Amino acid sequence: MNSFGYKKAASIEDTLEIKYQNKTSSFIAGGTNLLDLWKYNLQNPSELIDLNGLEDLKRISRQQNGTIRLGALATNAYTAYHPEIENYYPILSRAILSGASAQIRNSATNGGNLLQKTRCYYFYDMASPCNKRNPGSGCPAIEGKNRMHAILGHSKQCIAVFPSDMCIALAALEAKVEVFSTTGTRIINFDDFHRLPGDQPELDNTLKSDELITAIILPQRGFSTNYSYLKLRDRNSYAFALVSVATCLELENKKIKEINIALGGVSHKPWRNKQAEASLIGELPTKENFEKIASLLLKEAKGFEYNKFKIELAKRAIVRNCLMALDPSSQRPGAQPSL
């Protein structure tokens, strides 16, 4: 760890001003990812701008238009256990609580969750080539140990996956991201926030360098009747998803009125396919129909030596999760994925 300066931000404007003055500075909120990256020498900020004094950004509140505003600095734990979230957006609680550990969730913030880096081993190993860390150096994961890597939307430059659980639920809920800069406030659709690696795997998202995430906006509808989050991983807690699925379902006259399915652990961003979802509207919520959408979602999938299994696993997980969404009792804390 290098020597570094430290400033505590007094206001959002102040924050952006300091950042503007020092391009090699870095924001710190929960620090649960930044400190890892720093210790591994992946990031060496010359100055930390501590956001933790910005009390306004720690709140969770219902807006007049019925949407929910999750402050960017509200912790994951505060969010997951907040009554508004537990009662009206339970899929978000489930997703958050399936991630990390109690200690990390107590420190990690919502804004930070959106910005967390991939957990690709090669990205964290300074001695390995990595196009995301060092563009043009190569991607050893493609021919290497790629059990945790992407099967959808990867490129010849990068097959890393975005590791968040929370964001998979946010994608299914169709949340929006509010960002602030000196030019004002910008609202980004969740689907447009994270990006695929393409030829620029060093870019994880579309946030600009002079912008700060201030809030996540949850739409009015929280799918609190028919929802499910399923996470499959190499141990029962404290492991990133090999495959995760968030399903938000709305039924009308026993038929599907709306279905949003987001996949985690399979791509550089939360994976959705709105065309596939549209094909189920007006259909019955049957296993066969869920198998149909699962096939559509994985149609373009391409696996590598150690992660080919994810294609079949993701299909089965989608079917299971959609069936679980029909039965909210499957969502009790600690429950095994079951029917």
- The residue ranges that bind other proteins (CB under 8 A) are 1-3, 39, 41, 119, 121-122, 124-125, 127-128, 140, 143-145, 147-148, 232, 234-240, 242, 309-310, 312-313, 316-317, 319-320, 336-339
Residue 229 C-beta: closest distance to other proteins, Å: 14
Alpha-carbon distance of 132 to 118, in angstroms, equals 9
Report the residue number, 2 or 65, with the smaller CB distance to other proteins: 2
Sheet of strand 60-62, all strands in order from the earlier edge strand to the far edge? 60-62, 68-71, 212-218, 176-181, 184-189
Q: Which residue has the tokens 């945790």?
A: 148
Backbone angles phi and psi of 81, in degrees to 5: -100, 5
DSSP collapsed to 3 states, 86-151: HHHCHHHHHHHHCCCCHHHHHHCEHHHHHHCCCCCHHHHCCCCCCCCCCCCCCCCCCCCCCCCCCC
Q: Which is nearer to other proteins, 56 or 234 (CB)?
A: 234
Nearer Cβ to other proteins, position 147 or 186? Answer: 147
Smaller CB separation from other proteins, 64 or 336: 336
Task: Find the shortest distance in angstroms from Cβ 89 to other proteins.
Answer: 24
Of 1 and 184, nearer to other proteins (C-beta) is 1
Q: Which is nearer to other proteins, 1 or 83 (CB)?
A: 1
| Cα maximum dimension of the chain | 63
Q: Are 9 and 51 in contact (CB under 8 A)?
A: yes
Minimum distance from CB of 330 to other proteins (Å)? 10
Beta bridge partners of 185: 180
Least distance to other proteins, CB of residue 240, Å: 8
- Cβ atoms within 10 A of the Cβ of 254, count? 7
In the complex, least distance from residue 62 CB atom to other proteins, rounded to whole angstroms: 33
The least distance separating other proteins from the CB of residue 239, rounded to whole angstroms, comes to 6
Cβ(105)–Cβ(96) below 8 Å: yes
Q: What angle do CA 140, 146, 148 make, to 5 degrees?
A: 130
CB of 76 to other proteins, least distance (A): 17
Instruction: Report the alpha-carbon distance of residue 13 to residue 9 in Å, rounded.
Output: 9
Provide, rounded to whole angstroms, the least separation between the CB of residue 119 and other proteins.
Answer: 7
Packed helices 166-173 and 90-97: angle between N→C axes, nearest 10 degrees? 160
Identify which of residues 148 and 217 has a Cβ nearer to other proteins in the complex.
Answer: 148
Q: Which is nearer to other proteins, 71 or 303 (CB)?
A: 303
